[in-house]
Structure 1
């Protein structure tokens, strides 16, 4: 999604006074998500250039106690996400008409996505064949699970994956302008944030009360689902570290996929500021996939082969990076 430079916004946050323009009744909007959703944010731009919104945003985020808005340290509340999307929208729109059209298009796209996910979770079609094909196996596993624990795990894994398929699924979201696409993505990001937080709370209780989802008891797919929820627990690094220690012991007994251990090892390493071992974590730069720092670049392919992974070059070739 299109974002402003983080450094500039962080500096603005540090300097912003905690005062709001008269046109923005922030306290009232924070208490009423419905009011925040329908508020006319364009009045903040009327007769002003786009950059006039920057100090307003900085003051709003400071009031919300959010330090880095482009990579928020917590999920937004219902009201906060409406305010955030509203301010982002008017900052990028060229006119009041465009802002309203983009706002409505983004809201419609997310509504369609929510309906599609609800249909999938009920065993019906989302209306988009690729998404159906990807999520239906999770739902089928939930229905076939012999225990309530296994059923809940499969459903949570289904939600985890389904919401992540929304960001770039143009067939489901429909054609959107860059601004509308950005607004839709922010709403979907907040859903991901909340789903991850709920999943982490659940699997943490399950693992500590009942142990890991060993392959011999729950099957390979369930064990992989459990790993995936832990992999996405980036806001709870101590829990990720605890799971990594469990997987390290279990892999010697064949109770976890060695690749699961490798992926989580790298995730914990990067989340704690250390070089990774297997090269599973990376990003995009200038349209090319790149790998975050490695413990031993000369041995990475050997280490990957030991856990059943293809070479790092083959792995990176699987990613599509946009310029």
Structure 2
């Protein structure tokens, strides 16, 4: 531990009281090492506080705000310093306990993420393997009816897995600050939305849902990253399907404002409590009461970051038990 680190501790925890912790460097470093290695920080904290209380009761009353430590007798001075030492270490134990708690939560979130990925890949690959076996058997028997339909199912499942992988890779790149925007001119509907709708057609059909596209113009040209916008639309449409009411329409609407392009995705469904709307774009945020294991709270995190990388904004509005709407605003001054 450097003198600068000791000085920072003095400033942070002791204010203007000049204790001179450097005299206790060895003891202090031992304490810090113990704190870091302690598997049960709460027990350590209680032990320190118990010792703290005993030392406090055994020393005379001293007002450090008006009393200079150098004017005290040696025994009292050492007791005061020891008491302050224990006090600062108790604070560090508490902080270390909070850090460990946060790390446990992060680890649990990543374990949940790994569980979901494993679940999705296992189910999809099992289905793909099954469809492939059926196709092979039918070809061997000279029966090729419905083979195209089975092939479409394999294609859909494969694209779903590609979509999941793209979201995961984007999240990793965002965390590392390495996600790059490859800008070019493209059509938001033809090049970004339609491939996603084709990919999700099976899931839409299963819930009896359809996407109604409303645009003011035949062409909806934008200068941005086509692939990243596919990821944005995929996650928002998937969200609408997952929490939307069966046999309803999802509205995808583009509106041209004076200096911006506004995109809204609206669906009827379970919605979300207003108190959770500010946190919905945080990584690993999960607020819906659902048994669907595919929600780990990474999609909207990636969506927000991609929109912000295009200098845009995204917000969520909802009426609990009624509807949900995401609104994206993108600047046109590119």
TM-score (norm 2): 0.24
Higher strand share: 2
Q: Which of 1 and 2 has greater Rg?
A: 2
TM-score (norm 1): 0.25
